[in-house]
Amino acid sequence: MKRFLESWLEGQVEMSPSDGVTDLVSDGADLAVRIGVRMPNPGLICQTLRQEPLVLCTSPAYLSRTTAPTRVEHLSRHDLLIHASQNMRQTWRLKEVDGTLVRASRRSRLRLDPGESLREAALADLGVAPLPKRIVQGDFADGRLRRVLPERNTGSVEIMALYPHKRLLEAKVRNFVDLDAADLAI
């Protein structure tokens, strides 16, 4: 966001963090940045800004009450925190060190929306959550969260820009979307 505001001096930004699906046109919004959009509105243009790695994490207090998993199938003994996106069921599929794809199966005790609630639940010692690495880096550095199965490939989530179909895309939207996605501080 900083880079956008520095490069677009007359720009004005109004941010409304939410996981709720909105109608950009009727809400008067020029652009939405979404993490993990599965079925975007067909009336919108979707442009991937970047793929953000997912990491499994939980609090040190949660790990002190249980045995830390060393294999994907060990997650079946843990409380899994799931993102309740658009009423869609999520399955965790992770790769073991040898490349074998393994499904983590267990009934989730807690399904949350918005996504920031997953982080808060992990910080509150409620279980293991898959979260975008960029969002939890500070928590790892401060010792508030620990990685679970750090050597496993947990996949990634798309960060996308969504904007209405327009014959001529407004310069401010084009400027934002064209910024180097790696520099975006979302």
Structurally, the chain folds into a number of domains equal to: 2
Do residues 30 and 116 share a domain?
Answer: no
Give the pLDDT of residue 1.
Answer: 64
Instruction: Choose the weakest-confidence range: 37-51, 64-78, 172-186.
Output: 172-186
pLDDT of 173 over the 50 cut: yes
End-to-end CA distance of the chain: 7
Do residues 126 and 136 share a domain?
Answer: yes
Mean pLDDT, residues 157-166 taken together? 79
Give the pLDDT of residue 50.
Answer: 83
User: What would you report as the CA-atom Rg of the chain, rounded to the nearest whole angstrom?
Assistant: 18
pLDDT, tens only, 98-152: 888 888 776 677 777 667 788 999 999 999 999 999 889 999 999 999 999 998 8
pLDDT, tens only, 72-98: 888 888 988 887 764 455 667 788 778
- Highest average pLDDT, of 25-39, 50-64, 73-87, comes from 50-64
| Cα separation, 138 vs 48, whole angstroms | 24
- In which band, very low, low, confident or very high, does the pLDDT at 181 lie, cut at 50, 70 and 90? very low
Do residues 66 and 151 share a domain?
Answer: yes
Mean pLDDT taken over the chain: 78
Give the pLDDT of residue 48.
Answer: 82
Do residues 140 and 174 share a domain?
Answer: no
Do residues 104 and 164 share a domain?
Answer: no
Do residues 148 and 81 share a domain?
Answer: yes
CATH of the domain at 33: 3.40.190.10
Do residues 138 and 79 share a domain?
Answer: yes
**Contact between residue 108 and residue 80 where contact means Cβ atoms under 8 Å apart:** yes
Q: What is the pTM of this model?
A: 0.76
Return the number of other C-beta atoms located less than 10 Å from residue 123's C-beta.
18
Do residues 130 and 45 share a domain?
Answer: no
Query: What percent of the chain lies above the pLDDT cut of 70?
Result: 66
What is the domain range of residue 86? 52-156
Cβ-based neighbours of 184, under 8 Å, separated by 6 or more: 1, 3, 33, 49, 50, 159
Integer angstrom CA distances of residue 3 from 10, 16, 27, 175, 177: 13, 19, 25, 10, 12
